[in-house]
Structure 1
Amino acid sequence: MRKIKRKKKIYYPDPKYQDILVSRFINHLMKNGKKNLAYKIFYKAMDKIDDLNNKKEKKSSLEIWKKSLKNLMPNVEIRSRRMGGSNIQIPVPLSYENQITKAIKLLINSATLRKEKTMSYKLAYEILDAFQEQGEAIKRKENIHKMAEANKAFSHFRF
């Protein structure tokens, strides 16, 4: 037995929405152990989504956030492997848990690159863009899929 299975991390639901996925997102959003700040940023972003969304659709901000995460989930990832003196990119299918993690990281990283004033505004606008299937995070996800499609010939070299 070479590989030891990792214990699955237990997440507790967040105080406002009672959702485990929200607490996972907040853990990724948190920097330097400042969880209360991460909660404030996320909840302000959700309030901003509610404010912006009342004009357009009658969906709750949590539904919009979940749909945007679903839109961002990549099915495959690219891993490098050294073969015969050259590195080749191998597409590897992702499990559902890893898809969620990748989507969360795509969303947060794309939000930090935006030009809005505060992180909560950046996050809110990036969530809305991902919900409408546009924006930087969607471009990155599509780029991952394009690279996987281009390197499909190497898919039999799985890890």
Structure 2
Amino acid sequence: MSVNRILNHGKKSLAYQIFYRAVKNIQQKTETNPLSILYQTIRGVTPDITVKARHVGRSTHQVPIELGSTKGKALDIRWLLEASRKRPVDAAKESGDAIRKKEKTHRMAEANRAFAHFL
């Protein structure tokens, strides 16, 4: 999923090169298994719940819904790549743009918990 998200203009071999170079950099900087760090980062950023707009009568409510693992990972990878394009990935250190986005999503879902019965 990561390689397909990196993909730009159908150049998959270039996306693989970028991915492997990033994994190599992680290994050199941390001197541990880079895949375990990548999995830890993905688990840390994956949202459990999100909000979806529902029209009830004349008003629109943000209804919290639980995410499946596939949709959660897709959002996670998208957020990580978006954050890493702005600056190097800080998600492994529990900081950065992707972590803030997850926390913002969870706060919004918690604030709109009263509308959960509209599902």
**TM-score in terms of structure 2 length:** 0.93
Alignment RMSD (CA, Å): 1.1
1:53 and 2:53 aligned: no
Deviations 1:6-37 (A, max 9, x none): xxxxxxxxxxxxxxxxxx21011111111111
Secondary structure (helix, strand or coil) at the match of 1:155 reads helix
**TM-score in terms of structure 1 length:** 0.71
1:81 and 2:54 aligned: yes
Q: Which has the higher helix share?
A: 2
Q: What letter is aligned with 2:68? A: S
Q: Which runs of 4+ in 1 moved over 6 A?
A: none
Deviations 1:66-105 (A, max 9, x none): 1100101100111111222222111110111111111111
Map 1:129-144 to 2 at 5 A: 129-144=90-105
- Residue ranges of structure 2 left out of the alignment (5+ in a row): none
**CA distance in 1 between partners of 2:96 and 2:103 (Å):** 11
Aligned twin of 1:16: none
Aligned twin of 2:15: 38
Query: Could you say which structure has the larger radius of gyration?
Result: 1
- Residue ranges of structure 1 left out of the alignment (5+ in a row): 1-23, 115-124
Map 1:94-109 to 2 at 5 A: 94-109=67-82
Q: What letter is aligned with 1:44? A: R
Identity of aligned residues (%): 35
1:63 and 2:36 aligned: yes
